[in-house]
C-alpha cells in the first residue's frame, strides 16, 4: 500500500493549510485497516493516548458500527454522528468516510473526523475534494509498469531511493558524497525519465514501476 500512502501524504499536505478546525484524516485499505493518519496536534495526541496506530482495524467485527465499517460495507460515502457509533471510544466522534474508487475498483477509504465538535459541511466538502485529488493522482501515476523502459543509472537510482525516504537535496548530497548541484541534476533526469513534475509523483511512479 506504499503507492496509495505516498499519494495520500502528498494530497493531505497540500490541503492541510486550509483547514483551521481540529480534525484528523485517516487512510484505510479496502478492508478498513488504517494505513496512514494526519491531523492537528490536538487530535493526533488523542489518537496516541488511545493507542490507535497504523494497522488498527475499523471493521465492524473489531469495533462495532462506525463510519469506516459502514462505508466498507455499503461502498458509498457515510457520515455518522457520535451517538451512532457502537464503540464507546468513538462516542465523541463525528466522522465522514468516502471510498477511493479507481476505474471501478475501491483502493481504500478516506475518513475525516472531528471530536466533540460538530463537523461543518465545509469539512465534508474538503474530504470529498481530497478524495477526488487522490483518485486523480492515482490514475496519473498508475500507468503500466515501465521499469524496463526507464533508463536510470546506479547513482540516479540511489538518489531516487533517498528522496523516497524523505531526505532533502542537502541530505542526499551528504549521504552520497556528491554536490547539491549534482543531486539536482540527477533529480532533473529522474523527473524526465519518469515523466513527472514533482518529488511525490516521482516516488509514487517509481514504486509502481518497482524501481524502489
For the stretch 101-118, pLDDT in tens is 998 999 999 999 998 888
Distance of CA 202 to the CA centre of its chain: 15
- Rounded CA gap, 46 and 178, in Å? 43
Cα separation, 111 vs 36, in Å, equals: 11
Contact at 8 Å (CB) between 50 and 135?
A: no
Grid cell at residue 164: 523516497
User: Which residue do the cell numbers 465523541 mark?
Assistant: 92
Quote the percentage of the chain above a pLDDT of 90.
46
Q: Residue 133 pLDDT more than 80? A: yes
Between the alpha carbon of residue 8 and those of residues 28, 98, 121, 182, 193, the distances in Å are 10, 13, 21, 30, 23
pLDDT (tens digit per residue) in 157-206 = 889 989 888 889 999 999 888 999 999 999 999 998 888 888 888 888 88
- Give the model's pLDDT for residue 118: 87
Amino acid at each position: 500500500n506504499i503507492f496509495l500512502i505516498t499519494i495520500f501524504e502528498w494530497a493531505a499536505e497540500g490541503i492541510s493549510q486550509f483547514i483551521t478546525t481540529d480534525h484528523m484524516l485517516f487512510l484505510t485499505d479496502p478492508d478498513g485497516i488504517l494505513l496512514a493518519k494526519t491531523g492537528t496536534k490536538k487530535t493526533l495526541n488523542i489518537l496516541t493516548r488511545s493507542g490507535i496506530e497504523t494497522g488498527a482495524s475499523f471493521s465492524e467485527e473489531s469495533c462495532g458500527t462506525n463510519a469506516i465499517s459502514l462505508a466498507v460495507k455499503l461502498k458509498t460515502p457515510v457520515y455518522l454522528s457520535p451517538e451512532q457509533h457502537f464503540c464507546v471510544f468513538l462516542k465523541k466522534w463525528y466522522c465522514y468516510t468516502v471510498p477511493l474508487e479507481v476505474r471501478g475498483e475501491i483502493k481504500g477509504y478516506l475518513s475525516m473526523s472531528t471530536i466533540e465538535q460538530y463537523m461543518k459541511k465545509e469539512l465534508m466538502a474538503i474530504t470529498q475534494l481530497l478524495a477526488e485529488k487522490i483518485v486523480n493522482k492515482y490514475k496519473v501515476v498508475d500507468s503500466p509498469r515501465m521499469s524496463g523502459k526507464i533508463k536510470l543509472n546506479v547513482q540516479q537510482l540511489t538518489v531516487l531511493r533517498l528522496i523516497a525516504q524523505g531526505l532533502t537535496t542537502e541530505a542526499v548530497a551528504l549521504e552520497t558524497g556528491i554536490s547539491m548541484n549534482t543531486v539536482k541534476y540527477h533529480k532533473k533526469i529522474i523527473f524526465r525519465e519518469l515523466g513527472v513534475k514533482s518529488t511525490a509523483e516521482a516516488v509514487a511512479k517509481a514504486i509502481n514501476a518497482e524501481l524502489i
